[in-house]
Amino acid sequence: MPALKKISNLVLPLPVTLTTCRAEKEDSSTDNIIPLSWVGIVEYRPHMVNINIGKEKYSANIIRERKEFGLCIATVDIMEQVDMCGYTHGNKVDKFEMAKLTKFAAGKIDVSLIKECPICLECVVKSSIVMTTHEVFFAEVINTHVDERFLDGSGEPDIEKMNILGYANGMYFSLGKKLQNLYYSKNN
């Protein structure tokens, strides 16, 4: 297998999230959205995630100060709104208004979440690491919301119905097709 001429971190595709934050306590007019795909699962006791944001970004400054954020998983249906939120600046534009996304109040943190997203996680920052260009925020998930339309008969998330938006190498992808259950090969 040949090596690329240019080194690249091609861990792909990754889900696209709309990460929400609030600049001023209890003031929903200061809500912001930043699309991120550099996200991951860190731990499950307690449930923890990480997000990576350019360290000079407006949202990074808010999250660094307020220590909380919403992590809302985007779908293919809102790809245009996601894209719009990516090339505008939250300190200049109300991204919720511009993208026509619907706010709903988080239950345990002071941040708005996005109704159009099938999954929204309420996250509290526990630590961060400043890298060369980005800051990595490690956060505990303290509340999980899943739109009822995307639950199966046993109350579990039906990922295929969600048609999750993915990102890789400057392009959007759909992550909506189930292939097999985990450990399916064990039964063969």
In a domain, 3, yes or no: no
Determine the structural domain holding residue 53 and report its residue range.
14-187
Q: Is the pLDDT of residue 183 over 80?
A: yes
Residue 9 pLDDT: 82
Average pLDDT of span 128-156: 96
Residue 133 pLDDT: 97
Q: Is the pLDDT of residue 154 over 90?
A: yes
Distance (Å, rounded) from C-alpha 151 to C-alpha 82?
Answer: 23
Average pLDDT of span 102-115: 98
Residue 185 pLDDT: 87
In a domain, 101, yes or no: yes
Asked if omega into 35 is within 30° of 0 (cis), the reply is: no
In a domain, 9, yes or no: no
CATH, residue 156: 2.30.110.10
The residue count of the chain comes to: 188
In a domain, 61, yes or no: yes
Residue 182 pLDDT: 83
Q: Is the pLDDT of residue 12 over 80?
A: yes
**Please, what is the Cα angle at 159 between 158 and 164, to 5 degrees?**
145
Question: Which pLDDT band, with edges at 50, 70 and 90, does 71 fall under?
Answer: very high
Q: Is the pLDDT of residue 188 over 80?
A: no
Question: Which pLDDT band, with edges at 50, 70 and 90, does 134 fall under?
Answer: very high
In a domain, 128, yes or no: yes
As a 3-state breakdown, the chain gives helix, strand, coil percent values, each rounded to 5, of 20, 40, 40
Distance (Å, rounded) from C-alpha 127 to C-alpha 132?
Answer: 17
Is the separation of the CB atoms in 53 and 137 below 8 Å?
Answer: yes
Q: Is the pLDDT of residue 41 over 90?
A: yes
Q: Is the pLDDT of residue 94 over 90?
A: yes
In a domain, 170, yes or no: yes
Question: Which pLDDT band, with edges at 50, 70 and 90, does 31 fall under?
Answer: very high
Q: Is the pLDDT of residue 163 over 90?
A: yes
In a domain, 96, yes or no: yes
Better pLDDT: 21 or 175: 21
**Tokens read off for 177:** 């097709």
Residue 181 pLDDT: 85
If one counts the domains in the chain, the total is 1
